[in-house]
Structure 1
Amino acid sequence: MSSPSASVPDPSDGAPTAPAEGVTTARRRSQRGTRRTPRRAAIGRRSFGSTLRALEELASSGAQVSVHVADLDSGQAVLTGDDHVSLPIAGLGLVPVLVETAVALEAGALDPLQIVDRDADGFVAGSGLWRSLRAPALPVVDLAVLAAATGDPNAANALLDAVGHEQVRARMVGLGMPRSAVLDHFRDKRGPDDAPHVAVGTTREFAGLFAALVNSAVVDARVSAQVSEWLSLNQDLSLVAATTGLDPFAHEHDAHGLLFINKTGRDRGVRAEAGVLAGPRAGVAYALTVCFDDLSISHRLRAHEAFHILGTDLMEYAH
């Protein structure tokens, strides 16, 4: 395989915008197919050299890498690489489902205490917490919490059925996410008649979605706040967030004024994460997807290490 080429981001090319006022609000809340290598272009800040080297090594080994990082104050893209390419993102695709759930709750189309049965026919036995719970049915709001906090596949499937697949698809287009899509339910096994992936997406669009969430620009302020609240419960801090030092079980009110919300996606040979990290000096919206040959533990750990290195660079940027 040939060595990947580098690309310099164009700040005007689809970078998510975020007014400074939104960052101030967020900080207050915190106190409560191609192989191009991404390139950092901001001046007077850290170069993200460690992240560049890690992603270059992954791309050289055959992995598909897509990354987008944008400064929340200016909206300028400060690190990009193949951020327009749609790649499998696994459970990261839950975020638009949560958005549509919040919209339906606000509009009164869904009763927050409406009881939803666990689907026996499409039951996912390989992962999640609901499979181990005695309750065969849960209210919609509890399903949203379970899905956001633990990525529970059965809860996610129940929410998708409750709000409707077509409504989620239309919502994503309305949010400016035409290259991203929720394709299917979570499944233990995918047959020839099933979509090959539960969801696909671009890092540009998902970084933009998280920037809009913390700036109350996803549908309206109430929807943005509800989805952000659900995502703040996410307990998977093992990738980018591993360098934050946050408590996975209680990180909504960080004592050091760190705002962090995220969602991860995991599947065989797929690791994806998007989120917002805001500290005393700056804030960033980010998304990183790595698709790799999961041939051994070392292949998997090498992919995870790239997320850790990006997390370190993001922390230094924000602090």
Structure 2
Amino acid sequence: MGTPPEPARDTAAPRELRRGGKRRVSRRAAAEKRSFTATMKALDTLAQSGANVSVRVIDLDRGTPVLAGDDHVTLPVAGLGLVPLLVEVAAQIEAGGLDPLEIVDRADVGAVAVSGVWQHLKAPALPVVDLAVLAASAGDALAANALIGKVGLEAVRARIEKLGLERTALIDAFRDERGPDDAPQVALSSARELADLFAALVNSTAVSPAVSAQVAEWLSLNHDLSLVASATGLDPFAHDDDDHGLLFVNKTGRDTGVRVEAGVLAGPRAGVAYALIVCFDDLSIMHRSRAHDAFRTLGVELMEYVF
């Protein structure tokens, strides 16, 4: 897996990550004492068992990595492919090419039940902006496919290229089953590019400040706090305004033998953008639990780093 990079020293003023109008104070000397020893041990164990592991953590004050292991490797990321899709949706809304209140009929979207809640709702049609909320908050495959239908896969791929992401691709829509004529994966990426993308969102450099803010707002509604985010202790259904000054945005991806999470975590001491991809043989509950435990270990050490 490799070892955590030595934190780089610089003299530049740290970027401000604001919450509630207050500037976050970076306690750099204390943060440098933090390590990711337990995370590296857990990930090394997974790698030795045959899993493919890719991890990256960036200190947002410096813009430098504090943890990296095979972060350049391209791997399946399942629902994380929604993030560049949401960026394209927000960009088209900002440009005036897509009406956020345009109604999309569920009957016009191919049935898919792999994840989400729209399939269970009585409302047969929803506006584009509500579909974005469902896709971001609940990983709703039907809503995601509806958004892909509105903006087009080619537009998402072009947006990915404009964002400078060379190892990221949204290949296909979500499907309940993948046949021999279908793409084998929904999306691919690397931990490095996922962490960089989330850093760009919170730094307001993904397309534009307005697009960055809109996508970050959608992702802040994500309900899946069961992996890295389990260490935050946040309410999965209401975590956009934490009393302890914790800023948190994340997205997860899940498929058979695939677990992924990327996000931004910022506290009073420091802020980080992170991504972890684990592709493993899902042979039993124990195999899956070991993969999940590695995510939770990373979450604990991230919390120690930012607080």
Q: Same fold (TM over 0.5)?
A: yes
- Contact (CA 8 Å) 1:113, 1:140: kept in 2 or not? yes
| Structural RMSD (CA) | 2.1
Tell me if 1:20 matches 2:49: no
Q: Secondary structure at the match of 2:178?
A: coil
CA distance in 1, matches of 2:6, 2:108: 48
- The amino acid across from 1:291 in the alignment is C
Distance 1:191 1:26, change over 3 A: farther
CA distance in 2, matches of 1:90, 1:162: 20
What's the CA shift for 1:172? Answer: 0.7
Q: How do 1:57-206 residues align onto structure 2 when only pairs under 5 Å count? A: 57-118=45-106, 122-206=110-194
CA distance in 1, matches of 2:188, 2:14: 30
Distance 1:43 1:228, change over 3 A: closer
- Contact (CA 8 Å) 1:19, 1:72: kept in 2 or not? no
Question: Partner residue of 2:295?
Answer: 307
- Contact (CA 8 Å) 1:27, 1:278: kept in 2 or not? no
Question: Partner residue of 1:239?
Answer: 227
CA distance in 2, matches of 1:231, 1:51: 25
Unaligned runs of 5+ residues in structure 1 are 13-17, 32-41
Identity of paired residues, percent?
65
CA distance in 2, matches of 1:168, 1:237: 26
Question: Partner residue of 1:248?
Answer: 236
Distance 1:57 1:121, change over 3 A: same
- The amino acid across from 1:90 in the alignment is A
CA distance in 2, matches of 1:190, 1:262: 27
Q: Secondary structure at the match of 2:15?
A: helix
What's the CA shift for 1:78? Answer: 0.6
Unaligned runs of 5+ residues in structure 2 are 25-29
Q: Secondary structure at the match of 1:20?
A: coil
CA distance in 2, matches of 1:113, 1:121: 17
CA distance in 1, matches of 2:20, 2:191: 24
- Contact (CA 8 Å) 2:52, 2:278: kept in 1 or not? yes
CA distance in 1, matches of 2:96, 2:31: 48
What's the CA shift for 1:117? Answer: 1.9
